[in-house]
Amino acid sequence: MTVPRLTVWHDGACPLCRREIALMRRLDTRGAIRFVDATDPDTACPIDRAALLDRFHAREDGVLLSGAAAFAAMWRAIPLLRPLGLVARHPIALRWLERGYRRFLRYRPRLQRWLG
Each residue's pLDDT tens digit, 5-59:
899 999 998 888 899 999 999 999 999 999 999 999 999 999 999 999 999 999 9
List C-alpha distances in Å: 30 to 46, 57, 61, 70, 103: 25, 20, 17, 19, 31
pLDDT at position 109 is: 74
Residue 96 contacts residue 103 (beta carbons within 8 Å): no
**What is the pTM for the complete model shown?**
0.88
pLDDT surpassing 80 at residue 116: no
Each residue's pLDDT tens digit, 81-108:
999 999 999 999 999 999 999 998 888 7
pLDDT at position 5 is: 85
- Beta strands (DSSP E) in the chain are 6-10, 33-37, 57-60, 63-66
Report how far residue 7's alpha carbon sits from residue 23's, in angstroms, rounded to the nearest whole number.
16
